[in-house]
């Protein structure tokens, strides 16, 4: 039996669809065809740059020598210049991790939210959120849903509430295969109305639990051999 894990806040927003039946189908498809790698290692590179001043060349060497899979190595090397250029002029006063938080998404569904880092500048605290999808990044109502959820989480922590919440979108523009970094300031994104937020979360929660039931009813099968997957395919538990 394939198991459905609780999605992160970002993946909830990206996998939201306008009916619970569509959400259910999308989640079942993701469980049956999961991504086979994670971008989590990149967060460590960012910490090394900001906290220890590790140069880009040293990180690139580590990727080339220590990341065994050629496709994953290529994805990391594709992103590294954009990440390094963005943080090149930052001289943080501090860099720290943030404990996991949970967002109540309805019907008992507690969605994890794992901020990779926050760091301080002379202007104040910066909270960067990394979006590494190459295509179909969060936009429009899905982006507003994500920002609305995170604003509510941050509002519970006086230290984080005042942080400059930035979404670092590393996607390729439509019609292009070349990634570009787009910095989205959450303050520029409109929040959903309370009614619309509840409606969207109800749709997702209903689809999630329907997918869980569907997968739970299937007989157990042996795991198939892992194969490289499309780097754009969203994982559920980053």
Q: How many CA atoms lie within 13 A of 9 on its CB side?
A: 24
Domain-located, residue 234: no
Domain-located, residue 98: yes
> What is the pLDDT, as a whole number, of residue 237?
39
Domain-located, residue 226: no
Domain-located, residue 62: yes
DSSP string, 110-170: EEEE----EEEETTEEEEEEEE--SSS-S-HHHHHHHHHHHHHHHTT-HHHHTSEEEEEE-
> What is the pLDDT, as a whole number, of residue 67?
93
> What is the pLDDT, as a whole number, of residue 1?
57
Query: What's the number of domains the chain is made of?
Result: 1
2 three-state secondary structure: coil
CA dist., res. 148 & res. 168, Å (int): 17
Domain-located, residue 201: yes
> What is the pLDDT, as a whole number, of residue 231?
45
Domain-located, residue 231: no
Domain-located, residue 181: yes
Q: What is the pLDDT along the chain (238 residues), one digit of tens a residue?
A: 568 999 999 999 999 999 999 999 999 999 999 888 888 889 889 999 999 999 999 999 999 999 999 999 999 999 999 999 999 988 899 999 889 999 999 899 999 998 889 999 999 999 999 999 999 999 999 999 999 999 999 999 888 889 999 999 999 999 999 999 999 999 999 999 999 999 999 999 999 999 999 999 887 654 444 444 444 444 443 4
> What is the pLDDT, as a whole number, of residue 24?
98
> What is the pLDDT, as a whole number, of residue 220?
63
Question: The domain containing residue 73 runs over which residues?
Answer: 9-216
Q: How many CA atoms lie within 13 A of 201 on its CB side?
A: 23
pTM of the model: 0.88
Domain-located, residue 55: yes
């Amino acid at each position: 039996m394939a198991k459905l894990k609780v999605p992160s806040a970002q993946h909830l927003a990206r996998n939201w669809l306008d009916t619970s039946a569509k959400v259910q189908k999308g989640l079942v498809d993701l469980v049956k065809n999961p991504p086979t790698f994670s971008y989590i290692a990149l967060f460590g590179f960012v910490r090394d740059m900001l906290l220890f001043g590790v140069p880009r060349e040293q990180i690139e060497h580590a990727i080339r020598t220590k990341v065994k899979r050629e496709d994953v190595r290529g994805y990391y090397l594709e992103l590294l210049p954009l990440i390094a250029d963005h943080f090149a002029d930052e001289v943080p006063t501090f860099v720290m991790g943030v404990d996991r938080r949970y967002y109540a998404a309805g019907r008992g569904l507690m969605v994890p939210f794992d901020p990779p880092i926050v760091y301080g500048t002379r202007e104040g605290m910066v909270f960067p959120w990394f979006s590494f999808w190459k295509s179909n990044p969060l936009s429009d109502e899905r982006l507003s849903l994500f920002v609305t959820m995170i604003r509510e989480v941050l509002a519970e922590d006086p230290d984080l509430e005042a942080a400059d919440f930035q979404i670092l979108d590393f996607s390729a523009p439509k019609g292009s295969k070349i990634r570009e970094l787009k910095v989205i300031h959450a303050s520029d994104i409109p929040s959903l109305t309370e009614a619309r937020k509840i409606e969207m979360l109800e749709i997702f929660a209903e689809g999630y639990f329907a997918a869980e039931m569907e997968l739970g009813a299937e007989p157990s099968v042996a795991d198939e051999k892992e194969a490289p997957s499309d780097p754009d395919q969203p994982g559920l538990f980053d």
